Amino acid sequence: MFGIRLLIVLFAIAAVVLILRRMYRRPAPKQPLAAPGQMVRCAHCGLYLPRDEATRKDDLDFCSADHRDRHTRG
């Protein structure tokens, strides 16, 4: 009977130790987010998009070639 009680107490102590270790574990360092690029606004529809994805014509930025063509036609 004493052996089973000792075994239960040891399991309880081990469980408490594991729970406390998880609670006080330092969080993993977070990866810094990539620096956002400059955002520009489509001259035709007003959508904001990264400058490197925009289509440019006559110092204006567009979200697609279709909007560029529509804007230049009228």
Model confidence over 30-58: pLDDT tens digits? Answer: 888 777 789 999 999 999 999 999 999 98
Q: Where are the domains of the chain?
A: 38-74
Residue 25 pLDDT > 80: yes
**Spatial separation of the C-alpha atoms in residues 38 and 32, rounded to whole Å:** 18
Distances in Å between the Cα of 25 and the Cα atoms of 19, 42, 49 are 10, 47, 40
Q: What is the pLDDT of residue 66?
A: 94
Query: Chain centroid to CA 49: how far?
Result: 18
Q: Taking the model in full, what pTM does it have?
A: 0.51
Task: Please state whether beta strands 60-62 and 55-57 pair in parallel, antiparallel, or not at all (unpaired).
Answer: antiparallel
